[in-house]
Amino acid sequence: MKFQATRELVVKTCIELADGGYLAATGGNVALRVDQDHFAVTPSAIDYYAMSAADVCVVRLSDREQVEGARQASVESGLHAGILSARPDCGASIHTHQPVASAYTLFSRPLEVLDPARQALLGRNIPSVGYAPSGTALLARRVARSVKPDTHAYLMRNHGAVCVGKDATEAMTRVAALESECASFFLTRAAAQSGKLDASVHAIVIQTLLPMVDDAVTRFHDVVESESEHTS
Amino acid sequence: MTDDVIEHLRNDGARLHAKALFCDPGDSLSVRIPGREEFLFMTPDRSDPTAFPFATTGLEAADLHATIYRSRKDAGGVLIGQTPWSSALARIEARIPTLFDEQARHLGPAGKPIALGRHSLLFRALEGGGNVAIYGERRICIGTTPSRVVFNAELFEKCAKAFVIAHASGDRIRKLPGWARYIARARLRRAQKRAALSYAAGRIPEGMDGYF
């Protein structure tokens, strides 16, 4: 099998994302660059827990032609191709349906990243891309137009998010950082709404968001630590 | 065939349990047995699945499943149960708006939460083709296949969580554009029609997992 290691990494990444609640059902997808001209991408409409490396497709960046994989490549392959073409420094593009960032996409406005550690990971301002249906060329074009060298996450209105990184680990750390930043935003808003909401609803929102706020920073430190151990 | 269905149901139950979507003692999960007027039913206590006829079950928890299979010829699986987010939706007392593409495509429109015991309102809502309803503090999830009911449960959990968190902010929420809801709903109806025809022919429908 061609590009076996990267295709196996796509499977591993999807399972980690699904276990973390960042992918819901068959929603969301992962693209990892395999060489200068190709990327590996999840197939369309697959159960990530049942996916094998052989199911993972390989797509050519220049014309989006599928060159490997028995199944049909993700409908969001064009979106990933646009991002990876615009960001040659990135080896990974992860599209999630993570619930808290997805909640933020319902406002259709950019997210200002306030936490300094998360700002270093994500960029200062996360753009909000206007609505276009999933899997369309219009969505791919709108996201590609928003791509900037110093911004590593993008919100898609009424849809979800895309995070990029030099590799899968960095992109996943940014997925977690984005969820944390959005959790931090909603925590502040929910605290201000105390008394206006049903007490039990308010409690579940606070209890859910509170532990999420520092999660990404912890993960980032773990990654940095393991990378420095690896280097030394 | 029944052994395969039992195995599938056990795996589905384990997956939903691992994601805290099938844990409450009052939760129940079932799948249609193709070619027979029966379904397999289980609860989170991991007892062996039991087969019940659509006509009557003699078990209160299973009766609701039986009534759904009688009225929804496309239903291949049903999950009934409570999560913190289904309770939150019941307490907000508002219908969850259609917010995401895949929600429109696979779950369809959800009505307002229905008080426990208002069976006629519940069945009227489900007969409209929606794959999810809030009944008391529980959510009822329907899927055209056993896998689809698992995906729909995961999808609904994400949608409910996103909606409740956004709602709790007090900020204005933007719904999915009307034209996108319309197209997705037409696709859902077509898939449901196809599923009903497959079950009438004694087969589990295929190709029900994708967006398109």
Q: Which of 50-79 (A) contact B at CB < 8 A?
A: 75
List of domains in chain A: 4-231 (3.40.225.10)
Average pLDDT over residues A129-146: 96
Average pLDDT over residues A96-101: 98
Residue whose structure tokens are 């996409």 = A105
Task: Give the pTM.
Answer: 0.93
DSSP B76: S
CATH of the domain at B118: 3.40.225.10
Flag whether pLDDT at B68 surpasses 80. yes
Average pLDDT over residues B38-51: 90
Structure tokens at A108: 């259709």
- Least confident range of A107-116, A190-199, B105-114: A190-199
- Tell me the residue range of the domain where B160 lies: 2-200
A139 interface with B at CB cutoff 8 Å? no
Q: Over pLDDT 90: what percentage of chain B?
A: 81
Query: What's the ipTM?
Result: 0.93
- Assigned domain for B210 exists: no
Query: Coil, helix or strand for B133?
Result: strand
Q: Do B168 and A25 touch (CB under 8 A)?
A: no
Structure tokens at B12: 């589905």
The pLDDT, as a whole number, for residue A220 is: 45
**Chain A contact probe: residue of B103, B149, B169 with most A CBs at under 10 A:** B169
Flag whether pLDDT at A218 surpasses 70. no
- Assigned domain for B157 exists: yes
The H or E element containing residue A25 is none
Average pLDDT over residues B106-123: 91
Q: Nearest residue of A to residue B161 by CA position?
A: A99
- Beta A128-129 vs A153-156: how paired, if at all? parallel
Which band of pLDDT confidence, cut at 50, 70 and 90, is reported for residue A6?
Answer: very high
Residue whose structure tokens are 């930043």 = A181
Residue whose structure tokens are 């929804």 = B72
Which band of pLDDT confidence, cut at 50, 70 and 90, is reported for residue A74?
Answer: very high
The pLDDT, as a whole number, for residue B133 is: 96
Flag whether pLDDT at A27 surpasses 70. yes
- Assigned domain for B207 exists: no
- Based on the structure, what is the number of domains in chain B? 1
CB atoms within 10 A of CB A62: 10
B197 interface with A at CB cutoff 8 Å? no
